[in-house]
Structure 1
Amino acid sequence: MMQMVSSTEEKIKEAARKVFLEKGFTGATTRDISKEAGLNCALMNYYFRSKEKLFAFVFEEMLQLFFQGMITVLNKPISLKEKIIELIEHDFQTFKQNPSLCIFILNELHRDPDQLINLIQTAKTQAALLFEQQLNEAIRQGIVRPVKMQHVLSLLLSNTQFIFLGKAITMSTWQMDEEAFNTYADDHKRFITEMIINFLFIAEPMPESISDIELQQVN
């Protein structure tokens, strides 16, 4: 019996993830979710009572997926350059595997900013101070140009998010299939990694993994 309950709950959660990521809170209905799950509305309401309760679960899960991975990277005992490269990699992989996540976060930021801001504040207290100290020390040593942590994180997020926000337009305009877009995204990741590292770090060569030799291979 418990296994059946768990299976039904997971089916509802999976359907809710798909529908909310595609339509957001405002656009989604309980009927949409129940149809996606292959269940009737009464059964779905029995398990989760309301659309709000189900959305709260999906919203927190999706944001945790993004922010917890970022926090893990920020807390790693690695160099600042390695950390920035890993942050770019984390963002790209997260959005590549969940392409609707960008739009979902932006939509909910406009609809209910307080909920997202509270989660960001929690993440900030856990890891951002360590990253800021590491950045400021690199600036003091003359390794990195003077720049605030907020600008660094904005550079990373904006450059990684936009390619996935515009995925449908890019694929249509340049007649790409999914495989071609993934190749394009991987190339773009290398380009922005080089640009950000070269901008931040003063007269230091790129790591071998993203060197000029590798970049030339896509030209």
Structure 2
Amino acid sequence: MEVKELKDKNAEVKILDAARKIFLEKGLAGARMQDIANEACLNKALLHYYYRSKEKLFQTIFQDELLNFFNNMQEIMNAPITLFEKIELLVAKEIDTMNSCPRLPIFIMNELTQDPDSCLMKMKNMEMHKLYAKFRNEVVAEIEKGTIKKVNPDHLFLNLLAMTGYPFMAKPVVQGLFELNEDGYSDFIEQHKKDVSKFIIDSLIPIPN
């Protein structure tokens, strides 16, 4: 790789890292290109050379976050393991991802609220509906075999997302309600990760006659 290409690549990586941090903190409306340039330690003119508008840069970051979510789910759903093992991994992966970036759920929800059509189109382009169909089909297959209770797969999946995401979206409420400092909150999240998996799996196990 030539020196110029290497410099260009390094500059773009710095811009994307800085933009991700600023957008996650402030969202699209609150972020300024100058904030991103300052965070990346680059001048604003160079930032505009790579990304002519804040909106274009934001779309790059948002699509990357959706893609990460999709790839995590795809890897788990394609694994040759049981449905219960997949549920455990999905819960653990989502909580670990959000724990490493606590503002991510709020970031995604804000953009779903601001521009739902664009977000849904991105999800469609990534074929997320096909991935969810795989989850749904596995749940239906287990119901038909009698290994789990008869449940609505849509509600099951929504409950999984809600129970993993809500403690991060409502972190101040969780800390205030349960009187948790930062260390206490971290311990709470680790225990919550185990409890959510157990709660969901226990709710699916058929009750013996």
> What TM-score, normalized by structure 1, do the two folds share?
0.86
- Aligned CA-pair RMSD: 1.6
Deviations 1:157-196 (A, max 9, x none): 000001111223434562412x332211011111221111
Counterpart secondary structure, 1:146: coil
Deviations 1:118-176 (A, max 9, x none): 23331122x22222221111111222122222111101000000111122343456241
Distance (Å, rounded) in 2 between the aligned partners of 1:31 and 1:108: 21
1:126-205 mapped onto 2 (5 Å cutoff) = 127-171=131-175, 174-177=179-182, 179-203=183-207
Distance (Å, rounded) in 2 between the aligned partners of 1:114 and 1:65: 20
Structure 1 runs, 4 residues or longer, greater than 6 Å off: none
Q: Establish whether residue 49 from structure 1 lines up as the match of residue 49 from structure 2.
A: no
Q: How many residues align?
A: 202
Residue 19 of structure 1: how far off its partner (Å):
0.5
Distance (Å, rounded) in 1 between the aligned partners of 2:159 and 2:58: 30
Q: Establish whether residue 117 from structure 1 lines up as the match of residue 120 from structure 2.
A: yes
Q: Which amino acid aligns with 2:71?
A: Q
Residue 112 of structure 1: how far off its partner (Å):
0.9
Alignment partner, residue 106 of structure 2: 103
Q: Establish whether residue 66 from structure 1 lines up as the match of residue 102 from structure 2.
A: no
After superposition, the Cα gap between the structure-2 partners of 1:150 and 1:120, relative to the gap in structure 1 and judged at 3 Å, is farther
Residue 22 of structure 1: how far off its partner (Å):
0.9
Distance (Å, rounded) in 2 between the aligned partners of 1:130 and 1:154: 15
Residue 113 of structure 1: how far off its partner (Å):
0.8
Q: Which amino acid aligns with 1:186?
A: E
* Aligned partner of 2:30 among 24, 27, 35: 27
**Which moved further from structure 2: 112-121 or 45-54?**
112-121
Distance (Å, rounded) in 1 between the aligned partners of 2:75 and 2:152: 21
% same residue: 35
After superposition, the Cα gap between the structure-2 partners of 1:32 and 1:8, relative to the gap in structure 1 and judged at 3 Å, is same
Residue 43 of structure 1: how far off its partner (Å):
1.4
Q: Which amino acid aligns with 1:70?
A: M
> What TM-score, normalized by structure 2, do the two folds share?
0.90
Q: Which amino acid aligns with 1:128?
A: Y
Q: Which amino acid aligns with 1:41?
A: K
